[in-house]
Amino acid sequence: MEFQSIASLIVFYAKLLNFDPNIALAVAKVESSLNPAAMGSQGEIGLFQLKPQFVKGVSRRELANPHVNAIVGIERLKEEKEKCLHQKRLNYLVCYNYGRTNAKKISNPDAFPYVLKVTKEYNKIKKENYIYGQN
């Protein structure tokens, strides 16, 4: 399947996986500025800056594929939304960014820098591009 933009690819997979496309897009913007070739300083790969050692059954090469990266990243967001102890609003993003074990140490997830960045981007997307809708 061919997409006109990285944003449309993310929106497609978010809707397919029944996840809010605006959140998925906000996370990818914060993580990689929507650059599918982005590489992090600690080995993170692609749009959702996934660490291969934490993704079972998917190779580094596969994670470099924007389609695979989007699917795995969105599935991980869904998992953290369901399992993270911080459930209020977008606070489960602490678990996505910091890990579930480390997230237990965060007493005020509303003030966690990553949550603030993604929330700001999410609000910007919702204000400027409301075309993506809600799930």
Six-digit token string for 1: 């399947």
Q: What is the pLDDT of residue 132?
A: 53
Contacts of 70 (CB under 8 A, 6+ apart): 9, 10, 13, 24, 28, 47, 48
pLDDT digits (tens, 9 = 90+) for 31-53: 999 999 999 999 999 999 999 99
Q: Does 65 reside within a domain? A: yes
Q: What is the pTM of this model?
A: 0.90
- Would you say residue 133 lies in a domain? no
Domain-located, residue 56: yes
CATH number at residue 52: 1.10.530.10
The string of DSSP codes covering 9-75 is HHHHHHHHTTS-HHHHHHHHHHHHTT-TT-B-TTS-BTTTTB-GGGSTT--HHHHTSHHHHHHHHHH
Domain count, the chain: 1
Would the pLDDT of 119 be above 60? Answer: yes
Residue 68 in any domain: the answer is yes
Does residue 1 lie within any of the structural domains?
no
Residue at 134 is within a domain: no
- The residue range of the domain holding 52 is 6-128
- Over residues 69-104, the pLDDT tens digits come to 999 999 999 999 998 877 777 889 999 998 888 888
Residue 27 lies in a domain: yes
Whether residue 21 is contained in a domain is answered as: yes
